[in-house]
Amino acid sequence: MNNIQLYQAELLEHYQHPKNYGVISCPDITTGNINPSCGDAVSFTIKVTNFIINDIQFQGKGCVISMATASLFTEFVKHKSMDYILKLTAQDMLNIIKIPLGPTRIRCALLSLEALQSGIQNYKHQ
């Protein structure tokens, strides 16, 4: 198995057995995103302490990449600062999932990043 196959297997594992799947009661942030071209959707509930992501859960329905990325991303952002998450780019998402994606498939990986960034922006401006 080469590295790409290893990372694909890791993503598939996240898709089949997602981490942090569910809804947090009384969240500080509720946010979501839809890919209009396919209808796939993801939503997050988040607990925040001192502008740090303390806890996060997600729900969603979509392709392997979008759902596996959401699961992986919840693990990645936990205990990170909001400002750090706001600075993450598409390239950072590719680094997190560790497999190359074309321009169409990258939309699947960005679904979660965009949801979180817009939720954090709203939280900071309320």
Q: Give the binding site for ligand FES (CB under 6 A).
A: 35, 38, 40, 62-63, 65-66, 108, 111
Torsion of CA 106, 84, 32, 95, to 10 degrees: 20
The smaller minimum CB distance to ligand FES, of residues 1 and 102, is found at 102
With CB atoms as reference, the residue minimizing the distance to ligand FES is: 108
Q: What is the spatial distance between Cα 68 and Cα 74, in angstroms, rounded to a whole number? A: 10
> Residue 81 Cβ, how far from ligand FES at the closest point, in Å?
27
DSSP labels for 50-107?
TTEEEEEEEEEE--HHHHHHHHHHHHHHTT-BHHHHHT--HHHHHHHH-S---TTHHH
- Rounded to 5°, angle at Cα 119 from 74 and 122: 155
Query: How far apart are CB 105 and ligand FES at their closest, in Å?
Result: 7
With respect to ligand FES, which residue has the nearer C-beta, 82 or 108?
108
CB of 66 to ligand FES, least distance (A): 4
- Closer Cβ to ligand FES, 56 or 107, answer by number: 107
Residue 106 CB, nearest distance to ligand FES (Å)? 10
